[in-house]
Structure 1
Amino acid sequence: MDRQIQKRFWTRKRIVYLSIGLLVALLILYGLASVSGGSALRLEVERLTISDVTEGPFQEFIPVSGTVTPLKTFYLDAVQGGRVAEVLAEQGAMLKVGDPILRLENMDLRLDIMYREAQLYEQINNLRNTRIAMEQRKLQLKADLLEVDRMINESQRQYAVAVTLREKGLASANEFDRAKEEYDYWTNKRVLTIETQRQDSVLRSQQVEQLEASVERMNANLEFVRKRLEDLVLRAPIAGQLTALSAEVGESKGFGQRLGQIDVLDGFKLQADVDEYYVARINAGQPAMATMAGTTCSLAVSKVYPEITGGKFRVDLVFAGRLPADLRRGQTLQIRLVLGDLDRAVLLPRGGFYNATGGRWVYVVKAGGSEAFKREIELGRQNTEVYEVLKGLKPGDRVITSSYETFSQYEKIILK
């Protein structure tokens, strides 16, 4: 007898379909949960910083660190190269004008002076010998002229006798001509002697002038070299404190090498490095402020250095009023460098929110303080304390200003 086979309810096909259905349902539930979680998040108020939006005076400034330096500094460079022979002043010493600081030794310079002195003395001897020769030549020419005049007188007498004898027919034509020629010769010789004396005197005078000029130049050059020898002793050009000295006995120093510096301690200034982003906005005369021991000091930019190094440029600032007490060289002060005039604006305190939003939106706390929602805003200028609000917030609004790093993806924050 055939037995009836009972049909099973949980067939393999039904199990597969049911499993697929359950998986789809779970995915749907997970998606709904994700959407619900992404739109709102519960946070404890104690974990957040909530700040009020206000309206008040606003001034744009940037914070920089300034180093106290003397108002006047004179750098000491080697005017002449040489080896350090003696250090005559210690670092930190108070100096007067002309006080010796150190002495250099330069044998090449000393040998050069000796060589130039020898040349000068040789040229002086040449000048003296030329003058002696000139005087001797002058005396010789005078003697020659005296001899010529004597011969002229004698030949003139002989010629006069020859003329008389010729007229009487007692002298031959040959004797007459010889007497005349002798007279003419010495007469012409006198003219030539005088001209020779004149030209020789001119040439000798020019030679003496050239030698005198040469001696004068050599003497000036020698004085210049001797001045270089004096420059081997480094002296204080101004009165002040020797705050730096880089020289040890036996050390070689080249021409122009920095040896030290002297600071004039009758005033101080601040030097600060500013980001190159602000180079077009910093000018001489611009105001600034610094705080020292609880006292605010007024400053003014006195000089803007044009060189940019490492993305920064340097400025000098001077105190506008009385110098603070106990100000020391090398001390560091925090400076507020003012970039704009004081005016009124809607202000939002600075906070960590800016790193996540870039100032494009914030969480604004709803009235009652139980919820906060995203709101788009626009920020303008800033300083170390507040941002200037251009759009999206009004005085009285309350904003979460702490960091949004862990919850910036949520649209709403539920405050507990």
Structure 2
Amino acid sequence: MIKDTSAQDVMVSPKRNITKIVISIAVVALLIAFAAKAFIFNAEASRSFDRSTVQVATVELGDLIRDVSANGRIVAANAPQVYSPEQGFVELKVNAGDSVKVGQIIAVVESPELANELQQQRSEMNRLEGELSRQELDSRSQALQLTKQLDIAQVDLEAAQRENRRAQASIQSNLISQIDFEKAVDDLARAKLTQKHAKEEVAIAKDRLQFELDSARSRLARQSLVVEELERKIAQLNIEASVNGVVGNLLVQTKALVAKNDALMTLVDLSAYEVELNVAESYANDIAIGMPVEIKVSGNTVMGTLSAISPEVENRQVKTRVRFNEESVEGIRQNQQVSSRILLDNKLQVVKVRRGSFMQSGGFVAYKVDGDIATKINISTGASSMREVEILSGLQPNDQIIISNYDEFNGIEQLRLN
């Protein structure tokens, strides 16, 4: 009996399908190649960033106002200091913050030395006045004596002339001797000489007396000027305000001993304010007197004009002064902090973009946004302001770029924005 056919079976080894194996290997290799290509393609954009963490701006075509930002403070255009005119003890008549008017006495300096010197000089002037009066009396007395001598000489001359005429008549009649006649002639000559000398002496004496009087009057006039100067200095000890405003800082205490020309206090003229700005040294060659300035004061924007530029640089900054265009600006105080923009020039119809931290990279590259991909491109920039930057090449209007800081991008060529 035959149980089954197992005795007839022969084990045969299966034949492998070589073609199918080759095809499978080719498909796997192709998939690997595509995966590698996709990996390589996305390697540059493999880093993604949250769109909310970057700033994107649109390139525009418009006017660019080139400006310089500067911070400063409100200062009084006229803030004179008050000085002591002489050494002495000062008595302050006002306190810091008090309102003052022109001509108001704000301080008094007591100077005992100056008061004593004034009394001495007045006494000297009184002495010179008495000396002048005495000199005038002496001159009148001496002039009288000289006039008397001249009159006597004139009388003697007339008497000698009469004797001479009588002698000539007598000598013709042989009534007198020749000696008496010659004596009469000599007496006449002597009288003429005496009268001539008396006249010359009177003239010289009058000139001398006039000179002495003029000298005495000159000494008195000089002394009068000395007294007037001391009186002027005494009057200046009552120090008056030179402006309408308020008292700033008191630099001394009342009843303090001060020296000549010591500062006593500062006055602030409230009718004239200016802005003192500190401009970076790099912009020193760009600014000029007369440029318009936009100033923000207490939330308001007012215009001013650059009126002065310091010729020196301090702490890498240049100090400038700005004068308000308006006569009165409300809400300003001495030393109030302000911010401003110095408007350098205005460029019309240029390609521009909002300024951002991307300028820290030098302004040579930018990341242009196209959908969700940002690609690194080369650009060139021109003039810049506080708010905008001029684009010279590399971008067109309506293009979008990332304007935030590029440090975290590490120079990659492409990135994805989620």
Q: TM-score range by the shorter chain?
A: 0.7 to 0.9
CA distance in structure 2 between the aligned counterparts of 1:256 and 1:391, rounded to whole angstroms: 64
1:328 aligns with 2:329: no
Aligned length: 378
1:110 aligns with 2:115: yes
Partner residue of 1:52 out of 50, 58, 61:
58
Which amino acid in structure 2 is aligned with residue 61 of structure 1? D
- The residue type paired with residue 84 of structure 1 is F
Q: Percent same amino acid among aligned pairs?
A: 20
Are 1:398 and 2:391 an aligned pair?
A: no
Which of 374, 377, 384 is 1:375 aligned to? 377
Per-residue CA distance 1:232-274 (angstroms, 9 max, x = gap): 2210123322233322234344444433333333353322222
Counterpart selection for 1:359 from 341, 360, 363: 363
Task: Tell me which residue corresponds to 1:10.
Answer: none
Instruction: Mark the runs of 5 or more structure 2 residues left unpaired by the alignment.
Output: 1-39
1:204 equivalent in alignment to 2:209: yes
Q: C-alpha separation between the residues in 2 aligned to 1:213 and 1:41?
A: 106
1:204–1:39 CA distance, 2 compared to 1 (3 A)? farther
In structure 2, C-alpha distance between the alignment counterparts of 1:390 and 1:382, rounded to whole Å: 11
Contact 2:78 2:272 in 1 (8 A): no
State the Cα distance separating 1:75 from its structure 2 match: 0.7
Max Rg structure:
2
Map residues 3-402 of structure 1 onto 2, 5 A cutoff: 42-46=47-51, 47-70=53-76, 72-78=77-83, 80-321=85-326, 323-341=328-346, 343-355=348-360, 357-365=361-369, 367-370=370-373, 372-402=374-404
Opposite residue 401 of structure 1, the aligned amino acid is I
For 1:404, give the aligned amino acid: Y
- Distance in 2, matches of 1:247 and 1:295, equals 38
SS in 2 for 1:359: coil
Letter in 2 for 1:60: R
Q: How far 1:111 sits from its partner (Å)?
A: 4.3
The one-letter amino acid of 2:61's match is E
State the distance in 1 between where 2:257 and 2:399 align: 71
SS in 2 for 1:300: strand
Q: Normalising to structure 1: TM-score of the pair?
A: 0.80
**CA 1:135–1:386 in 2, change beyond 3 Å: closer, same or farther?**
same
Alpha-carbon offset, residue 323 of structure 1 = 4.6
Amino acid at match of 1:49: Q
Tell me the amino acid that sits aligned with residue 243 of structure 1. Answer: G
Any conservation in 2 of the 1:68–1:331 contact (CA below 8 Å)?
Answer: yes
Further displaced range: 216-225 or 105-114 = 105-114
Query: Secondary structure of 2:78's partner?
Result: strand
Q: What letter corresponds to residue 139 of structure 2 in structure 1?
A: M
Query: Distance in 2 between the 1:233 and 1:293 partners?
Result: 40
* Aligned residue type for 1:151: D
Instruction: Determine if contact 2:304/2:325 at 8 Å carries over to the other structure.
Output: yes
**Shift of residue 161, structure 1, vs aligned partner:** 4.2
In structure 2, distance between residues paired with 1:150 and 1:323: 91
For the 8 Å contact 2:90–2:257, the answer to whether it is kept is: no
Per-residue deviation, 1:135: 0.7
Give the equivalent residue in structure 1 for 2:18.
Answer: none
Q: TM-score, normalised by structure 2?
A: 0.80
SS in 2 for 1:201: helix
Check whether the contact 1:377–1:393 (CA below 8 A) recurs between aligned residues.
Answer: yes
Tell me the distance in 2 between the aligned counterparts of 1:399 and 1:275. Answer: 29
**Cα distance in 2 between the residues matched to 1:111 and 1:265:** 40
8 Å CA contact 1:84–1:248 kept in 2: the answer is: no
The alignment's C-alpha RMSD in Å is 3.0
Structure 1, gaps ≥5 residues long: 1-34
Which one-letter code corresponds to 1:337 in the other structure? I
Runs of 4+ in 1 over 6 A off after TM superposition: 35-40
